[in-house]
Amino acid sequence: MDNQDTIIACATSLTSISALNVIRLSGDKSFSILQKLVSKDINEYERRKTYHVFLRDEGKLIDDALIVLFQGKESFCGEDTVEFYLHGSPIIAYNLIKFALKNGARMARKGEFSYKAVINGKMSILEAERTNALIHAKTSYASDKVLSSFSKDFFKPLQDIKEKIAYLYAYFLQVLDYPEEYNDEDDKVVSRIDELLSKINKIKIGTKINNYLFSGVKVVICGEPNVGKSTLLNRILEEDKAIVTPIEGTTRDVIEGYKEISGVPFTFYDTAGIRDSNDVIEKIGIDKSFSMIEKADIVLLLSDSGRFDEEKSKVFFNKLKDKNVIKVQTKEDIKEDDW
């Protein structure tokens, strides 16, 4: 990325209609581009104040809008910036962006405004990552987790680990220089090391759990045909997402649904039943099932008998080898004649 470029992007949506659209233009050419859009001398506009203006492209009205100018370090990016508040039609936003591109700006890449803010000393990399996490939080629990990281107490566990490592480092240097003075300290040091490793492991586990808050948990429901995979998906989602019939091979494609559980976003995937088949379409569905299993965080392996014949389907069970598999017996609530 070239930090000298003037960049522009829509902070809202370019694909749907809304009441407002927000456009950010940032870089050395921002004010000169704005000057071509308005009739008034922009030097008369005070910084960090909102103004109502008519934006025109060579006399043709783009929109009557609100603008705010930020000079240099006053802005989010740490450089000259203009924010436009337009009416919510995507075509209005598109016309403004097209004008800016024609006059020396380029489209911002993903995360580039935050990148500029880091480069220009407006925020640290950690703060940029935290902002990104907050933007991508899918649940209230996830956003609360991010917001809690703004607390001063958030880094205390890491500071504690840092201090313990510093102590052990100093201790071992002393032992190397004066080994005869530390014969009785071995048990205490081992205890300190165990405590340190325990704290590190706790943070490691917490980090993995927090990652699921943002990436979500992928749960694949799989098994032989007609063992209740689609029924289970519908019950979990509390809606008729998948077609349920007593006919084997009803599900040919992957069907997915979203569910928030205890603040964690889960995506459940109902897959085609695993079996040997000569049906071309069904075989494609089974291949998709295998592909989804490879991407899964958790696999729900269903069987209506409660038995899982690993010898019969070695290829299938090899794909499950390194997965978190929960075996589920189904149809316990119905008699065979009822089905």
Q: DSSP labels for 20-70?
A: EEEEEEESTTHHHHHHHH-SS-GGGSPTT-EEEEEEEETTEEEEEEEEEEE
Quick one: what percent of the chain has pLDDT higher than 70? 91
Q: How far apart are CA 13 and CA 266, in angstroms?
A: 25
Calculate mean pLDDT across residues 309-328: 77
Element spanning 194, H or E: helix 186-215
Position 312 pLDDT exceeds 60: no
Tell me what pLDDT residue 182 has.
64
CATH code of the region 217-338: 3.40.50.300
Position 314 pLDDT exceeds 70: no
Can you say how many angstroms the Cα of residue 193 is from the centroid of all Cα atoms in its chain?
A: 35
Tell me what pLDDT residue 258 has.
94
Identify the residue with better confidence: 283 or 68.
68
CATH code of the region 7-123: 3.30.1360.120
Least confident interval from 12-26, 151-165, 291-305: 151-165
Position 338 pLDDT exceeds 60: no
DSSP 3-state of 87: strand
Identify the residue with better confidence: 117 or 317.
117
Q: What is the pLDDT of residues 181-218, one digit of tens each?
A: 766 666 778 888 999 999 999 888 888 888 888 889 99
Tell me what pLDDT residue 311 has.
60
339 falls in which pLDDT band (50, 70, 90)?
very low
Identify the residue with better confidence: 49 or 282.
49
Position 61 pLDDT exceeds 50: yes
Identify the residue with better confidence: 211 or 70.
70
- Cβ atoms of 273 and 313 within 8 Å: the answer is no
Cα-Cα-Cα-Cα torsion 112, 114, 116, 119, nearest 10 degrees, comes to -130
Position 99 pLDDT exceeds 80: yes
Calculate mean pLDDT across residues 63-91: 96
In the chain, CATH 3.30.1360.120 covers 7-123
Contacts of 72 (CB under 8 A, 6+ apart): 78, 79, 80
Pairing assessment for the beta strands 255-261 and 106-107 based on DSSP bridges: unpaired
Quick one: what percent of the chain has pLDDT higher than 90? 50
- Cβ atoms of 217 and 265 within 8 Å: the answer is yes
CB atoms within 10 A of CB 300: 22
Q: Mean of the per-residue pLDDT values for the chain?
A: 88
Calculate mean pLDDT across residues 2-21: 90
In the chain, CATH 3.40.50.300 covers 217-338
Question: Would the pTM of this model clear 0.85, i.e. be above it?
Answer: no
Closest residue by Cα to residue 34 from 14, 19, 49, 56:
56
- Cβ atoms of 239 and 231 within 8 Å: the answer is no
Contacts of 30 (CB under 8 A, 6+ apart): 6, 79, 80, 81, 82, 105
Tell me what pLDDT residue 119 has.
94
